[in-house]
Structure 1
Amino acid sequence: MSATVLPSCPSCDSNRIVKNGRIHNGKQNYKCRSCRRQFVQDPQNKIISQQTKDLVDKLLLEKIPLAGIARVTEVSEPWLQSYVNTKYESISQQVQVRTKKKGKLTIQCDEMWSFVTKKANKQWIWLALDAKTREIVGVYIGDRSRHGAKKLWQSLPPVYRQCAVCYSDFWEAYEQVIPSKRHRAVGKADATPRRRKAQGNAHQEETGKTNYIERFNCTLRQRVSRLVRKTLSFSKKIENHVGAIWNFVHHYNASLPV
């Protein structure tokens, strides 16, 4: 029986080709060991309908990895990755909230841990939430330093920087950035005995004042697969990590009742 003749690479014309599984429609996929390109013989471009794209947009808001979305929608993973890259690059990184009048406003601030590629590359998600409307009114993704707190403060619409009282935990960066007359460092309702002792009387006086933002943190971690603690769906590209979070924030704000 004669050996199977493998095609040459369409990019570098190399013959160092190996089989590399099959694509979504069952065709044999090949990989070039020289330039690392993946390809199929006689490719047929598949037109992705707008209905499929709309479904992909909805699935990106759920805790489903890209490989799972590709299987459900029957599109190729390379096409899906390209579509996601383009979508996240175009997403606005500015909060979109309803207009507020100057007056008594209250926001809750918190930060949650995430990473890109490896756990050593930590990316902290800083969030601010309007305690009355539940809108996310401030977002910044970066390090957990004074710089991160400053960027969160700058991301707030002007009316919040002028009027809002800000409740946060005892992370010192908040105190360094938010004006003292409008900042309240408070304890959490579920604080451990050791943490309560460290927080002192402030825990007894103000416990539970950040419960809405803590609940949103849980929602975000459960809905965005890149943020689930034990997962293989973590981000490998910082731009997509940031884009996925902003994509969910915009969806969340738009879905809140008026």
Structure 2
Amino acid sequence: MLSLGPNCPDVGSIHLVKNCRTHNKKPKYKFQICGRQFVETPTNKVISSETSYLIYRFFLEKISLAGIARSTGVSQKWLQDYVNNKYASIERTVKVKPKKKVRLNVECDELWSFVDCQENKQWVWLAMDRETREIIGVYIGARSEEGAKQLWNYLPFVYRQCAVCYTDFWAAYACVFPSLRHQPVGKESGKTNHIERFNNTLRQRVFPIVITTISFSKKLENHIGAIWYFVHHDNYVLSE
């Protein structure tokens, strides 16, 4: 046990022990009484714009936070704080190009994942403009009538006024979507092919969208933020 060093700001103790090393091999110390840990000569690493852009691109691929930290050289703690702040600030409304008041065709579907444990299912409700491939509605929650209602409310007004929404035969849609704006169809019709393909893209590229792997979200806010993050990126690419 070492007895030299700074006093713990919490309890004033100077009794500390060595406690392994950081990811960049610096020795860590821990105060015995309170458990507080520190590095003797910490350095504040400046994250370059090139690294920030690389992290932005990594968020659009199915790469774990630990993998991003190893690839970019940032600390996992810094990256986790960055992720928390980034996803908390993501706008929860769609941005789509203006549409004329003519017949519009919308494809709707749901896919499921979970947060923290498989019992805590979180369904992703999505609506896509068939012609432009833009995602025009998003809701994450239960697969229930409330979920269908929230998806309908998320649609821009012009779609609620002029579009025909093609869905599967899940009863919640018929309970919420006006009959003139709703057409349930089977997979064999091909009228929901594009949104089903987008669902597959989400599973392949958005880290929290999983079913049976250990790489799942432990925080609902980040789960929702990651989905919106990818949706905004995809719509932006389509608008270019």
TM-score of the two chains, using structure 2 as the length reference = 0.90
Note closer, same or farther for the CA distance 1:4–1:16 as it changes in structure 2 (3 Å cut): closer
Q: How many angstroms apart in 2 are the aligned matches of 1:5 and 1:233?
A: 41
Structure 1 unpaired stretches of 5+:
190-206
Q: How many angstroms apart in 2 are the aligned matches of 1:142 and 1:32?
A: 43
Structure 2 unpaired stretches of 5+:
none
Partner of 2:231: 249
Note closer, same or farther for the CA distance 1:30–1:65 as it changes in structure 2 (3 Å cut): farther
Q: Does the 8 A contact of 2:2 with 2:17 survive in 1?
A: no
Note closer, same or farther for the CA distance 1:6–1:150 as it changes in structure 2 (3 Å cut): farther
Q: How many angstroms apart in 1 are the aligned matches of 2:199 and 2:86?
A: 23
Note closer, same or farther for the CA distance 1:83–1:121 as it changes in structure 2 (3 Å cut): same
Q: How many angstroms apart in 2 are the aligned matches of 1:31 and 1:168?
A: 57
3-state SS of 2:161 partner? helix
Partner of 2:26: 27
Partner of 1:229: 211
Which deviates more from structure 2 when the two are superposed, residues 230-239 or residues 54-63?
Answer: 230-239
Which deviates more from structure 2 when the two are superposed, residues 9-18 or residues 180-189?
Answer: 9-18
Alpha-carbon offset, residue 48 of structure 1: 1.1
Q: How many angstroms apart in 2 are the aligned matches of 1:149 and 1:118?
A: 24
Q: How many residues align?
A: 238
Partner of 2:178: 179
Partner of 1:51: 50
Q: How many angstroms apart in 2 are the aligned matches of 1:162 and 1:97?
A: 16
Q: How many angstroms apart in 1 are the aligned matches of 2:203 and 2:106?
A: 20
Note closer, same or farther for the CA distance 1:37–1:90 as it changes in structure 2 (3 Å cut): farther
Q: How many angstroms apart in 2 are the aligned matches of 1:118 and 1:149?
A: 24
Partner of 1:165: 164
Structure 1, residues 43-102: CA drift from partner, whole Å, max 9, x if none?
111111122111111101101000000000000000001111111111110001111111
Partner of 2:132: 133
Q: Which letter does structure 1 place at the counterpart of 2:127?
A: A
3-state SS of 1:109 partner? strand
Which deviates more from structure 2 when the two are superposed, residues 248-257 or residues 66-75?
Answer: 248-257
Note closer, same or farther for the CA distance 1:176–1:70 as it changes in structure 2 (3 Å cut): same
Which deviates more from structure 2 when the two are superposed, residues 23-32 or residues 51-60?
Answer: 23-32
3-state SS of 1:125 partner? strand
Q: How many angstroms apart in 2 are the aligned matches of 1:115 and 1:6?
A: 48
Structure 1, residues 201-238: CA drift from partner, whole Å, max 9, x if none?
xxxxxx22111110000000100121133433211111
Residues 1:86 and 2:85 aligned together: yes
Q: Does the 8 A contact of 1:115 with 1:122 survive in 2?
A: yes
Q: How many angstroms apart in 2 are the aligned matches of 1:55 and 1:142?
A: 31
Alignment root-mean-square deviation, CA = 2.3
Partner of 1:147: 146
Q: Does the 8 A contact of 2:108 with 2:128 survive in 1?
A: yes
Note closer, same or farther for the CA distance 1:169–1:236 as it changes in structure 2 (3 Å cut): same
Residues 1:211 and 2:197 aligned together: no
Alpha-carbon offset, residue 114 of structure 1: 1.0
TM-score of the two chains, using structure 1 as the length reference = 0.84
Which deviates more from structure 2 when the two are superposed, residues 84-93 or residues 228-237?
Answer: 228-237
Note closer, same or farther for the CA distance 1:33–1:5 as it changes in structure 2 (3 Å cut): closer
3-state SS of 1:229 partner? coil
3-state SS of 1:256 partner? helix
Q: Does the 8 A contact of 2:116 with 2:217 survive in 1?
A: yes
Note closer, same or farther for the CA distance 1:4–1:12 as it changes in structure 2 (3 Å cut): closer
Q: Which letter does structure 1 place at the counterpart of 2:105?
A: T
Q: How many angstroms apart in 2 are the aligned matches of 1:141 and 1:178?
A: 18
Partner of 1:192: none
